[in-house]
Amino acid sequence: MNLNFTLILQIASFLLLLGLMTKLLYKPLMNYLDERAKQIKDMTEGARLAEEKSKKYAEETHHALKMAKSEALKIKEDAKRLSDAERRRVIDEAKKQATFLIDEAKKQLGTERDLVLKKIRADIADISIETAKRLLSRDIDKKDHKRLIEESISEIENEISRARD
């Protein structure tokens, strides 16, 4: 019986040791492992949430950037359209002003030409009268007659060249 008693004592010691180990080591170890598994799960979930958040933020940023590019393109097109319209308006205004200035210059040239022609006619009339007075005041031979005509023509040419200047 000695063998049975030792065997029973060994089995009882083993079971007691197993119970103590379970209570002192196994449960705290399992609790630690469960806690660690929970922390890892929480960290994984946190990382997944952070990744989703960063993806959402990246999408929002991408969308905002796309909208900003679209708005910038619209502003650029509007500015180009407005500048083209302003350029056309300025060109049209310049053409109108140039046409007006040309017409005014033509009117002024026509008026000045008319005045010059009137002056030339008046001068020709004066020269003709002066020539007639000279002719009537004395007898002229052919040589004097020719000289008087040449002087009259020369005076007319001088008047015309002065009028041009």
Q: How many domains does the chain have?
A: 1
The pLDDT assigned to 37 comes to 94
Q: Residue 98: enclosing H or E segment and its boundaries?
A: helix 27-137
CB 120 within 8 A of CB 162: no
Q: What is the pLDDT of residues 30-59, one digit of tens each?
A: 889 999 999 999 999 999 999 999 999 999
The pLDDT assigned to 143 comes to 73
**Burial readout 98-125 (b: 16 or more C-beta within 10 A, e: otherwise):** eeeeeeeeeeeeeeeeeeeeeeeeebee
Helix or strand or coil: residue 67?
Answer: helix
Given a cut of 70, the residues of the chain with pLDDT beneath it are 1-2, 125, 133-142, 145, 163-165
CA–CA gap between residue 14 and residue 12 (Å, rounded): 5
The pLDDT assigned to 65 comes to 93
The pLDDT assigned to 72 comes to 92
The pLDDT assigned to 20 comes to 85
The pLDDT assigned to 9 comes to 87
- Which residue range(s) make up the domain with 156? 2-164
3-state secondary structure string across 105-137: HHHHHHHHHHHHHHHHHHHHHHHHHHHHHHHHH
